[in-house]
Structure 1
Amino acid sequence: MDLITPVCDDRITILPADVIHRILLFLPLKAAARTALLSTQWRSHWRRIPQLVFFNDFRIAPNDESMMKTLIFNICRVLLLHDGPIEKFTLAVPGLRSAPCESEIGQIILHLSNRDVKTFQLVFYVRDNQVYKLHSALFSCHQLNALDLRYCEFRQPSWFVGFGKLNILHMCQVILPTDFFENFLGKCPNLQTLLVKDCVGPSNIEVVAPRLQIFTFYGYLLQICFKHAPLLQSLVIDLHVRGQGVEKPVVDTAALFASLPALQQFRLDFQLLQYFAPGNHVSAPIRLPAPLHRIQSVNIRSVDLGSWEKAFAFACLIMSFPNLLYLTIQLEASQQN
């Protein structure tokens, strides 16, 4: 009697839909596109992948003058084939010799605005201090809940009404208008996390963000005021020094802490705490006007204990946090020995 050998199913091509979906999410975009060759089912899922990340996927040499045209062609091709919602879109292109064409990138952003993109990241690192001027089509993406912009110029159009669903905003080396904090943030009522790093623009900052919980700032400023941030829990201000003869920041630290009733942890430069040292037309208080019972973690950089007055002022500050659990101090370089 002849033995009949059973035909084994191809397990790769008949995987459950949820398994295929998870696999595609973990693959680089180019590899995910190649899975369309496996079967009709894989091709169908590839065309509905919710996250599109273009970051060195196509291995185009940074010195190639046709780099952006090739990249944009591939992006447009993917978008035309894509059939489904796009929750996340990332375009990161380092090493450009010139800024990309504003209108071409604008067409891509406009397409995304019609697909209700929720997370958008744009990174253009251009040599010779050139910057990409952000296309106004971005301000039509009303479903955004996370926005990450780097190495570009931020220009808010007059017709912009706001991002009502934006929760997370990251700005890194972006040219900002001087009224960015007052004007733009005022139109993002649900913003919870804000990161501003090495940006050019406003030096006098006034924050009105009723739902803001995390605020991180790296850069240069003269004044900062939290006019309305009742839910802020984490604060980081890391100042950059601009050399001799430059105006130094002036911050009423007591007023700063008083305006943040929910604050639990902070990291500040010691120079922001000069309110506690004599010489600023006020006497050094023994403590803050009211103890901050919520503060549990404190990190203070560039601490200057070179005089008795400054050391005493620093001790007075720490005494204002009766429930403090974690304290990190970084001394000035001249005092580390």
Structure 2
Amino acid sequence: MKVTHPVTLYQVLYNMIEKKKVRTELEVDRISNLPAHLIQLILASLPIREAGKTSVLSRQWRYHWRNITRLVFDDEFDELEDCDSESEVNKLVKRVHEALQVHDGPITEFVLSIPGLTAAADTHHLISYLSNKGISALSLLFDLDPHSFGEEISPSLFRALQLNSLKLQACELKVPPWFVGFTRLTVLQLEQVCLPNDFFQGFLLNCPLLEDLRTSFVVGPRKLEVVGPPRLKVCIFRVYCVETISFRCTPMLSMISIQAEMYDSNTTDIPTVDIVSTCASLPALQQLNLSFECLQLLAAGPVPDMFPTALHQLEVLDIGNCFHDECLLELEVLLCLIRSSPNLYKLTIQNALVLNDLNVERELVPLKSESNGYPDPEAEGSYCQRLAEVNVRNYKGSQVELDLLRFLLANAPRLSRIVVKPDYQLSWGSCLDFLEKVRQCECVSKEAEIIYVNMSNVILFSRRLAAS
């Protein structure tokens, strides 16, 4: 049975406790004699503070709240008014401890997300207690400390070997030398976490069942080298100052998203990546999202026309800012990915957010030129056979944008829609001029149409592109 309206249940129970409404004997029996599993279901839908109040409903309800398996301490439980007051922080942590001390049953999931509580709080005993309770899902979501990036999390965390889900925020994670691994962990999410430099190479090898890895604004690792685990399916990274990217022993990895600053902006030496071997390690890849910095890193090394091993499973490709000024090398990476993905279905290209990044009057080297290695639509006909949708965000009006669309129109027989979101600084006349140029391009699809949308994704107009 699923509780579909937890707020309604909360209001009913709250009225019964606080207002002490007069009930008939029948109503009392209905509440008192509910099956234990229904009582647990109701309690699980209530904030921990309100769940404790249900002990006064009847004798049968008195101790049920102590057996809740999912404990959530968030703003419904308490909130720090003075984050800098050590005494206030300690009082709050003490209240969490007191709630745990009267808890009798197993704890399968624990969430700590109290506004104002940072990792500087003394949570060592709390984490140690949870580690010994056989907890399977743990979320420690601290607020970012304004005085530091985050305090070190208690080493007791690494004794919670039963964990299958771990989510950390605003803290520092140091792996102790005695750590043997989270052999049951399937989900790992890290946000604003300081990590050791070799985290992705060493830690992940000790998580053989990991399937979902997500990091956001983590610092520390300079090498994004993911080695295993073999069951990994999802990788989402938002990281700083990464020097290299590689994936090894990831046969099931189907979704990769990387938003990163690839190298130190103070140096002119851009590290290189073996794009061929990296992509060869991704046979199950279905969705790939890359920022411009990733393209820049991949373009620093040799870029083939296409990979020796095709990305047969890749269906969704999302590329950021590949029309940024002189970015022809980055476009080569994009075209290599397109050529190497015979089943590509959806392509999204994100342009720069500011118009002055690109001189819209300047005509860049067109994609049809044989001298630069780009494919000639008249000579190539094996690309984009399943491509159905193209999205161009923050369109600037450059020649290279038009040339890329010309290539796609000439090679995508199943293309049904091109969705264009113009840059907000681009004039209406420039948009109409671009539309006319696109309509003059060779088009092999009988169903293709171009759709203009505004910044709110509201359709401005659409035009059918007649097949040549």
Q: TM-score, normalised by structure 2?
A: 0.65
User: Residue type of the partner of 1:183?
Assistant: G
What residue number does 1:262 align with? 284
Distance 1:275 1:216, change over 3 A: closer
How far apart are 1:323 and its partner, in Å? 0.8
1:179 aligns with 2:198: yes
CA distance in 2, matches of 1:260, 1:306: 30
Match of 2:349? 329
* Corresponding pairs, count: 326
Q: From 223, 237, 247, give the equivalent of 2:258.
A: 237
C-alpha distance in 2 between matches for 1:153 and 1:276: 30
- 1:184-263 equivalence runs, <5 A: 184-208=203-227, 209-220=229-240, 221-240=242-261, 244-246=265-267, 248=270, 250-263=272-285
> 1:24 maps to what in 2?
43
- Aligned pair 1:81/2:102, yes or no? yes
Matched AA of 1:213 = K
Choose from 114, 127, 133 the match for 1:93: 114
Matches within 5 A, 1:295-306: 295-304=314-323, 306=325
Q: Check the 8 A contact 2:48/2:77 in 1, yes or no.
A: no
- In structure 2, what is the Cα distance between the partners aligned to 1:291 and 1:186? 27
Q: CA separation in 1, counterparts of 2:170 and 2:297?
A: 35
Q: Work out the CA distance in 1 between the residues paired with 2:238 and 2:276.
A: 21
**SS, match of residue 63 in structure 2:** helix
Using the TM superposition, name which of 325-334 and 234-243 deviates more.
234-243
Task: Please state whether the residue corresponding to 1:132 is helix, strand or coil.
Answer: coil
Q: Deviations over 1:230-257 (max 9, x none)?
A: 1111101111377743454532222221
Considering Cα pairs closer than 8 Å and 6+ residues apart, tell me whether 1 or 2 has the greater RCO.
1
With over 3 angstroms needed to count, the CA separation of the structure-2 counterparts of 1:172 and 1:46, relative to structure 1, is same
2:66 touches 2:102 (CA, 8 Å); kept in 1?
yes
- What RMSD over aligned residues (CA atoms) do the two structures have, in Å? 2.4
Equivalent-residue separation in structure 1 for 2:298 and 2:93 (angstroms): 55
Work out whether residues 264 and 297 of structure 1, in 8 Å CA contact, stay in contact via their aligned partners in 2. yes
Change (3 A) 1:294 1:205: same
Distance change >3 Å, CA 158–CA 315, structure 1 → 2: closer
1:132 aligns with 2:151: yes
Distance (Å, rounded) in 1 between the aligned partners of 2:101 and 2:157:
19
Contact kept in structure 1, 2:222 and 2:244, CA below 8 Å: yes
In 2, Cα distance between the equivalents of 1:267 and 1:195? 13
* Structure 2: gaps of 5 or more residues: 1-23, 359-394, 397-468
CA distance in 2: counterparts of 1:327 and 1:127, whole angstroms: 40
Deviation at 1:273, TM superposition (A): 3.1
- Structure 1: tracts of 5 or more residues without a match: 1-5
Counterparts in 2 of 1:294 and 1:16: CA distance versus 1, 3 Å = same
The aligned amino acid for 1:163 is F
Which structure 2 residues correspond to residues 269-280 of structure 1 after superposition, within 5 A? 269-274=291-296, 280=300
Distance across 2 between alignment mates of 1:275 and 1:183: 23
CA distance in 2, matches of 1:212, 1:204: 18
Corresponding letter in the other structure for 2:310 = P
Alignment equivalent of 1:49, drawn from 62, 68, 72: 68
Report the structure number with the largest CA radius of gyration.
2
Contact 2:273 2:301 in 1 (8 A): no
Distance 1:241 1:290, change over 3 A: closer
- Give distance in 2, aligned partners of 1:231 and 1:97: 36
Contact 1:63–1:96, Cα closer than 8 Å, also in 2: no
Q: Give CA deviations for 1:270-323 in whole Å, capped at 9, x if unaligned.
A: 34335875xx463x5322223211111111112126559444653343122111
CA–CA distance in structure 1, aligned partners of residues 198 and 265 of structure 2: 27
Q: Report the 3-state secondary structure (helix = DSSP H, G, I; strand = E; otherwise coil) of the residue aligned with 2:62.
A: helix
**1: CA distance, partners of 2:271 / 2:350:** 19
